[in-house]
Amino acid sequence: MADESHQNAVFQCRMCGRCCEGRGGIVASPEDIARLSAFLHLTSEELVARYGEQTGGKVKIRAGDTDCCVFFTREKGCTVHEAKPAVCRAWPYFRGNILDSESLGLAKAFCPGISPYIRHDDFARLGREYLRENKLLASNPACEATALILP
Ligand code: SF4
Ligand code: SF4
């Protein structure tokens, strides 16, 4: 789940949990791993062994028994909200949605938190601001989420 209520005109998370479903999409960068480890009182190695999986050279948060992110529960939502990975905090301002209006259209259909009225150029401008202000932009495709690397 993304941060609630940032830039309300564009996005307000409805806490539906849809973006926490599925397997293997959540990249955890070295910074994310350090933050999650501290939050859960684990070493980085323990965190990765217990909750991560290596895919294509990157660490990703694995799915639990219900095919949702292992940190997601229906009762509580994201159980690591305060320490969740950058890619979760960045949604819906992913590279594809910022660069491509069709991608934003698909994201609107998927995520009820994105305003259906927001124009793509406004979304892209505000999204870049949000990512920059919150230090969510990435630069290392070897270990960070490609979705957070912008030209
Ligand atoms: S870390 Fe939290 S916000 Fe991110 S996918 Fe998992 S449950 Fe959802
Ligand atoms: S799909 Fe959108 S509205 Fe639903 S939890 Fe994720 S960010 Fe929030």
| 8 Å CB contact between 7 and 56 | no
* Structure confidence at residue 56 (pLDDT): 84
CA distances in angstroms from 70 to 67, 88, 128, listed in the order given: 8, 14, 29
Return the residue whose CA atom lies nearest to atom 8 of ligand 2: 13
3 is a domain residue: no
Q: Does the pTM of the predicted model rise above 0.75?
A: yes
104 is a domain residue: yes
Domain limits at 54?
A: 17-83
Q: Mean pLDDT in each 10-residue stretch from start to end of the chain (151 residues)?
A: 61 92 88 98 98 92 91 93 96 97 97 96 96 96 96 94
How many Å is the Cα radius of gyration of the chain? 15
68 ligand 2 Cβ < 6 A: no
| 8 Å CB contact between 15 and 1 | yes
List the one residue out of 69, 89, 80, 88 whose CA is nearest residue 24: 69
Residues 97 and 132 in one domain: yes
Any residues with Cβ below 6 Å from ligand 1, and which?
1, 20, 26, 61, 69, 71-72, 78, 80, 84-85, 88
Residues 61 and 101 in one domain: no
- Determine the Cα–Cα distance for residues 47 and 119; give it in Å rounded to an integer: 40
